[in-house]
Amino acid sequence: MSIQNQHSMPIQWEFLISKLKSSVTVVDATSPELPLIYVNEHFTTLTGYSYEESVGQNCRFLQGQDTLPETVSKIREALRQQQSIKTEILNYTKTGRKFWNELNIDPIFNDEGECLFFVGIQYDISERKYAEEQLRMAAHMAEMNSRGQLEFIGKLNHELRTPLNGIMGMIELVGMEETSNEQKEYLELARQSGEALLNIVNKSLDVAKLGRGKMKVEQIDFQPSKLIQQIIKTHEVAARQKQISLVCHLDLEVPEVLVGDPLRLRQVLDNLINNAIKFTEQGEVHIQVDVKETLKDVTTLVFSIQDTGIGIPQDQMNQLFEAFTQTDVSHARRFGGSGLGLTICKELMELMHGEIRVESQEGQGTQFQVTVPLKRQRMMPNVGNVG
């Protein structure tokens, strides 16, 4: 049966196929050698082999030393099973140049179900594969550079801590001697400066550990109520000095004993409460601990830290958890800080399979919510000091 177009002209299929901008091949499926019996013009242009050089050959004549044997085996198995296949394969031109093909092969059956041909349509995807390889190399180089920078930060911080601890110790020793009021004031300024620098060193070291995947979380028994009491006691003096209220409410449903990493949890809560007190001039800082849900042996707690401080502008909320970033340069001068604390909090919460969220209105205050799943302890252990 002849097929005609709308102008009643017979369609010349071989002519159309020969002019396609993708390679078309036809293989004789009835021959054990599976020879090519047809290739179109684009095939000859891409490979460099003429029609006469190609017909009669098995397609493996395009393969070379870097063609993956696994890919070749997969194609052979599909042909043996007389099934369609789509894959990517590295081939070679007549001059030895490599090129990547996206290969689509379909079997053609007659009415009796006998497989007569395999028709292959190939697309040259060399440019795409080259771009993918460049992206992989760029990502690898970026990862190596980042890892090198983090290792340098880690080593540098270890080198800084020893002399810095020595300076802090000397300041403490001098403070124990007879000193004038003016000297005491100078020593106190030196102590505060040393503590601020030591805090930056410690936080930078945490960032380096997190970046290298060296930070680990423990799974030990602790008492949430005792942990909160110790945290509140730590910050009471700072709140009292600023004449702001530090209020805490603990849900009675909070289990007496849970399993997690109290040290890292305290690190997160200490940072958030310290920030809340630092950025609040009047009013209060309110800490609320609630049970979000209990599923089998896991209890999820929510720690809310809400203040009546300066708040955070909405256009700066997205960069809040980025390293070395502060919402306002003037805040860094006025309140201090390295811009690392919230970055570490976020990373630590991810390590503990929790999350940290923030809501804020500029001039009205901020609320941070820390949600963390903790395993329940069925039997009451001998829980020691969690601080």
Helices 126-175, 181-211: crossing angle, 10 deg rounding: 150
Cα distance between residue 374 and residue 298, in whole Å? 6
pLDDT at 378: 61
Q: DSSP letter string over 356-375?
A: EEEEEETTTEEEEEEEEEEE
| Inter-residue contact 327 to 278 (CB < 8 Å) | no
Between 323 and 145, whose confidence is greater?
145
Between 58 and 174, whose confidence is greater?
58
pLDDT at 250: 94
Q: How many CB atoms lie within 10 A of CB 285?
A: 29
- The tokens of 242 are what? 């600023």
pLDDT at 30 > cutoff 60: yes
> Of 300, 295, 311, 307, whose CA–CA distance to 265 is shortest?
300
pLDDT, one tens digit per residue, over 326-354 is: 545 444 434 444 456 788 788 889 889 99
Residues contacting residue 87 through CB under 8 Å, at least 6 positions apart? 71, 74, 75, 102, 103
pLDDT at 329: 41
Q: Is 144 left (phi over 0), alpha (psi -120 to 50) or beta?
A: alpha
Contacts 24+ apart (CB under 8 A), 56-59: 58/33, 58/34, 59/25, 59/27, 59/34, 59/120
| Inter-residue contact 103 to 89 (CB < 8 Å) | yes
| Inter-residue contact 352 to 346 (CB < 8 Å) | no
Q: Where residue 82 falls among pLDDT bands split at 50, 70, 90?
A: very high
Highest mean pLDDT among 153-162, 176-185, 219-228: 219-228
Any alpha helices (H) in 212-320, and if so which ranges?
224-241, 262-278
Length of the chain measured in residues: 387
Handedness of CA 213, 219, 225, 230 (dihedral sign): negative
Highest mean pLDDT among 60-74, 197-211, 328-342: 60-74
Percent of the chain with pLDDT strictly greater than 70 = 79
Mean pLDDT of 258-278: 90
Residue type, 375: K
Q: DSSP letter string over 23-69?
A: EEEEEETTSTT--EEEE-HHHHHHH---HHHHTTS-GGGG--TTS-H
pLDDT at 70 > cutoff 80: yes
Cα dihedral: 57, 59, 64, 66 (round 10): -170
- The tokens of 82 are what? 């007389």
Cα distance between residue 84 and residue 89, in whole Å? 15
Q: Compute the mean pLDDT over every residue in the chain, rounded to the nearest whole number.
A: 82
